[in-house]
Amino acid sequence: MTIQATTEPRDGDRPAASPALPAARGPLSRSVLDVLAGRAARLPDADAVRRCDPYGDDLQLLLYVLYELHYRGFAGVDERLEWDPALLGVRAAAEDVFLDAVRRDGGSGGKDVAGTVDALQLEPVGDDGHSVSHHLQREGELWQLREYAALRSLYHLKEADPHLWVVPRLRGRAKAAMVAVEFDEFGAGRAENVHARLFADLMADLGLDARYGHYLDAAPARALATVNLMSLFGLHRRLRGALVGHFAAVEITSSPGSRRLAEALRRVGAGPAAQRFYDEHVEADAVHEQVVRHEVIDGLLEDEPGLAADVVLGVEATGYLEDRLGDHLLTAWREGRSALRTPPAP
């Protein structure tokens, strides 16, 4: 099917924070980007999408770009394309490929929510050879911390936004507790304390460009996949249990990892703004993990016990994709090379 963007948005219609479109990484993402840029293009059919590597650059960038239309969009892109039927059809095919792969590779298919969550709380004794935060705490160099921040900016500059989509799909205890945690993520009513703002301050302290989406072209597919997973779970009501599982995995593992990253930043002499982001998460997420486990998860399963397998999927898929990204980072850094497609400027 060939489609073309409609009338360009008027001046002033688009928020100043919308990033530029990224560069294509293959035929699938190129055709979608051409459409978004207003150039006539033939979108890929479902068979072409199904033949694509589910974890590869082409499919992951395609998904990231189409998901981003639901966040801040892109400069010069008609906002009505967010709900264009042809683009949604391509996205649905790509989502099927990605979700099937994650279910196959990262999910046990089990329903033991309590056991799965308990496993998240078991901290390894020392570095098991796969932990990015242990590496950065012990021997990470400033350039590696800068690369880590650049990659994580794709999520942290919109921190908590994907998880907010689950709120209207919950009720009772689960909804009340989820909103309480999200209230903290959004600064408890103070704009200067919004976690996305704190991360932008961290980036500035490290000499990075803190503009939203600036490092998209630099991010490898494994980093895009970790962000795409939460957008996938968040945008589909049928995956609300998986999004709660993802949220639990993030909150429960955040506090000890944040402590190590705060120590790493202090060790390399980063400024107070860089340290504050992780210091804030050490304290806040230690409380959040209890609320998420005993109120959000228990409340959800009290209402909808049939979602247990989806909660487990959310936890396990998150861990699987984070491990893949961690292995990529550590392999590159131990070889003394950048883990980014294009390293940030010194």
* pLDDT tens track for 138-151: 999 999 999 999 99
Name residue 3's beta-bridge partners.
41
311 closest CA partner among 243, 228, 234: 243
What is the model's pLDDT at position 316?
96
- Angle between helices 240-267 and 272-291 in degrees, nearest 10: 150
Q: Phi and psi of 9, rounded to 5°? A: -65, 150
Residues across the chain: 346
Which position has the higher pLDDT, 123 or 296? 296
What is the model's pLDDT at position 281?
84
Q: Which residue has the tokens 């060939």?
A: 2
Residues 6+ apart with CB under 8 A from 151: 215, 218, 219, 223, 325, 329, 339, 340
121: three-class secondary structure by DSSP: coil
110-334 has CATH 1.25.40.10 classification:
no
Alpha helices in the chain (DSSP H): 27-36, 46-50, 57-68, 85-106, 113-120, 132-139, 142-156, 161-164, 172-185, 195-205, 221-235, 240-267, 272-291, 298-303, 308-334
Domain ranges for the chain: 2-105, 110-334
Predicted TM-score (pTM) of this structure: 0.92
Q: What is the DSSP letter of 52?
A: S
Rounded to whole angstroms, what are the CA distances from 329 to 66, 253, 304, 308, 325?
Answer: 26, 19, 38, 32, 6
216 closest CA partner among 140, 158, 136: 158
User: Mean pLDDT lowest for which of 29-33, 74-78, 168-172, 281-285?
Assistant: 281-285
What is the model's pLDDT at position 3?
44
60-113 pLDDT tens trace: 999 999 999 999 999 999 999 999 999 999 999 999 999 999 999 987 789 999
